[in-house]
Structure 1
C-alpha cells in the first residue's frame, strides 16, 4: 500500500493495513495446515513461498505472519513470538529432510558439502550434526536444489521438502540420512523445522489482528487433520506417488507447538548458539491458546 506525503511516494506502515498478508510454505509438508486455509476472505492475502523466502518476507514486513524456519525465528527471537499449536515438527524421522552422501557420514572430513538455497533450519541442523559428530567439511556450498548438479560439485548434498521426497525414491546410489532421525538419536529431542511466527510489534499494536491470524491457521489445521484423505489427494496431485506413501509420510510429521514441543526447539536453538550460528541464546515464546 502506498501513500503520498509532501509529493513523495512512501510505503505505508504494514501494521496500518486493514487486511492480513499471510505467508505459507508452498511444499507438501505444510498441507495439513495450509490446504484448507479459507481463501475466500477478501481481507486475507496469500503469499506462497519456500522457507527462505518466508523468512525474508516476515523480517521485512512483507507478510504479517507465516510459517517460517525455526532457525529464522531463533535468529530474530527478540522480535517474534510463536503462535501456539502451529509447527512442522517430528520426533524421529521426518521423511523429507535428507542428506545424500557418496560416502558414509564419518568419512566426510575434508569434503565439500552442498546446501540448498531454500533452507535455513535444516541447513543449520546439518552443520550442527556434522560438527557434533566431529566431521569438518572443507567447505559448504549453497546451490539450487537439484541432486545431480549438487553432487557434481560436492561429495554430499542436503535436500528438503518436495525435492527431498522426490530424490529419496529415485535410484541415487547415495548413503541416505534423515536429519530428523539423526537429531533424535543423538539428542533424544524432537525437532521443529518451522513454526508460525508473529512480530512482537504487531502483537503490541494490533492484538486483534494477531488473534484473527491465529484462529485462521488453527482452523486450517483442524480441517486438514480431520480430512487427511483430501490432503493426501492434493499431495498426490502435486508430486505423484501412492496413497500409502503419503499416509506413511504424514504420519511422521506433527503440527503442534506447546511447552513439550518447545523443549526440542529450544535444544536446537541452544546448539545453534553453541556452534556460533546465531548471535545470542534464544527460546521459543509461545503466544495465544488453541481454543
Structure 2
C-alpha cells in the first residue's frame, strides 16, 4: 500500500468528512446484489446515518460530500481515488457471469456499430464497462444515451440497452426475444480478469485524522457481510420479498457474486481502470488502494 497523503485534496471541502461529534453519513446500495453485505448492517448507532440509493446516487453523494463513506460504484471510486481508499474485504465483484448486468440487444453485439445504445441512469461501473467492451470488440460510432431504467422505453429509440441490478434481474427472466450479454462474463472471457462493480470507499482524510472512526465503518460493513453470508437463507428471503422469484433463483444468483476485496481482485479492478483510461473514460491512470484488515 502506498503511503497515504496528508492534507487537503482536490477541492474537498472541510465539511466533507464528519467532525468528531457529528453523525457519519454512510451510503449503501439499495439493490438485492448488496443484500449479503447490507441486510444485516447494524443501524442502531445514533452516530450513524444511512443513505440507501442506486449506485449513481451514491456516487454523486460521495463526490459532493452528502455522504462521508459507503458502498459505491468502483468507477466512482476511480474518479475520486485521490481522496478515497477502498476498504479491504468489501466489494460486489464477479469472476465470470454476474447475473444482473446485461446488455439487451436486438442484434448481435458485434453488429452495433453506428447504432444507439441506451445506458441506465443508475450505474457508472457497468455502463462504462459496456463502453469498454464494445470498443474492445471493434464496435464503432455508437450513440450512447442515458435513460431511466425501463427496457421498453429504452429500446424505443435504441438497438440495445444496458440494465443493472434489480431492473436487469427482472428483464432477464422475461420473454422479450432479445439477445442478452452478461457483461461480467464478457469481461472475464475477453480479459481473464475478475470485475469489481462496487467497493466500500472511505476518505483518506478520515483514515489519516481519525483512523479509529474509519476502522469503525470497516467493522460495521464487515460484520454485516459476516452475518449476511452466514445466514444466506435470510438474505434470500429478503430478496424474494423485494423481487419475487424462487429461492433456487436467488441461491444461484448470489453464488455468482464475490463480496471480498483483496490483492487478487484488485488486479481485475486495476485492469478495468486501465481500460477505462485507455478508452478516455478516466482522465488519468488509477490503481485500487486497499486499506485496513479484516480482523
Q: Which structure has the highest helix share of the two?
A: 1
C-alpha spacing 1:12/1:87, structure 2 compared with 1 (3 Å): closer
What residue is the counterpart of 2:219 in the other structure?
215
What residue is the counterpart of 2:40 in the other structure?
36
Matched, 1:108 2:112: yes
Alpha-carbon deviation of 1:13? 5.8
Contact 2:15/2:65 (8 A) holds in 1: no
1:32-81 deviations in Å (ceiling 9; x for gaps): 00000011111111100000111111112211211111111111211110
Aligned-residue CA RMSD (Å):
1.1
If the length of structure 1 is used for normalisation, what is the TM-score? 0.95
SS at match of 1:159: strand
Please give the residue correspondences for 1:156-195 in structure 2 after superposition, counting only pairs within 5 Å. Answer: 156-195=160-199
Alpha-carbon deviation of 1:14? 4.0
Please give the residue correspondences for 1:55-70 in structure 2 after superposition, counting only pairs within 5 Å. Answer: 55-70=59-74
What residue is the counterpart of 2:129 in the other structure?
125
Q: 1:263 aligns with which of 264, 267, 276?
A: 267
What residue is the counterpart of 2:103 in the other structure?
99
Q: Distance in 2 between matches of 1:138 and 1:265?
A: 25
If the length of structure 2 is used for normalisation, what is the TM-score? 0.93
What residue is the counterpart of 1:16 in the other structure?
19
What residue is the counterpart of 1:7 in the other structure?
none
Matched, 1:233 2:237: yes
Contact 2:28/2:70 (8 A) holds in 1: yes
Q: Distance in 1 between matches of 2:226 and 2:76?
A: 26
Contact 1:24/1:47 (8 A) holds in 2: yes
Q: 1:243 aligns with which of 238, 244, 247?
A: 247
C-alpha spacing 1:216/1:244, structure 2 compared with 1 (3 Å): same
Give the length in aligned residue pairs. 281
SS at match of 1:256: coil
1:4-47 deviations in Å (ceiling 9; x for gaps): xxxxxxx9564315222110000000000000001111111110
SS at match of 2:45: coil
1:79-116 deviations in Å (ceiling 9; x for gaps): 11000000000000000001000011111111100001
What residue is the counterpart of 2:3 in the other structure?
none
SS at match of 1:15: coil
Name stretches of at least 5 consecutive residues in structure 2 with no aligned partner: 1-13
Q: Distance in 2 between matches of 1:163 and 1:137?
A: 27
Contact 1:99/1:178 (8 A) holds in 2: yes
Q: Distance in 1 between matches of 2:141 and 2:225?
A: 39
The list of structure 1 runs, each at least 4 consecutive aligned residues, that deviate by more than 3 angstroms after superposition, is 11-14
Q: 1:276 aligns with which of 265, 276, 280?
A: 280
